[in-house]
Amino acid sequence: MSKPNNVATEKERLAQLARRKKSQELAAASNQARVDRRRHRVIGEIVCRHFPELNDLQPGINAGEDKAIFLPVEISLAMLAADTEYVDRLRKLATHK
């Protein structure tokens, strides 16, 4: 008669392991999100320091307004990123200073 108890105990143990794994995954995702937000903030501060006119852009009240407001920045960065030869030259210059 101890077999049903062992099965129940094993099921509880497996459920606990699954909960612990899920909790660890959520914690890892949360930590990664925190690192990503910090990186984005630091990069944004650097960009705004070198292009102070970007500080004049005010975010909208929703994602659609933000997209429209920041579209010129998006396009400029996309154009820069597309010119891989120029980006490579900039990287070389930046690492030799």
Residue 7 pLDDT greater than 90, yes or no: no
Residue 2 pLDDT greater than 60, yes or no: no
Centroid of chain to Cα 7: 42
Domain locations along the chain: 1-56, 57-97
Q: Decide which of 6 and 57 is more confident.
A: 57
Q: Decide which of 7 and 38 is more confident.
A: 38
pLDDT tens digits along 65-94: 999 999 999 999 999 999 999 999 999 999
Confidence at residue 97, expressed as pLDDT on a 0 to 100 scale: 60
Q: How far apart, in whole angstroms, are the C-alpha atoms of residue 41 and residue 43?
A: 6
Q: How far apart, in whole angstroms, are the C-alpha atoms of residue 20 and residue 32?
A: 18
pLDDT tens digits along 22-53: 999 999 999 999 999 999 999 999 999 999 99
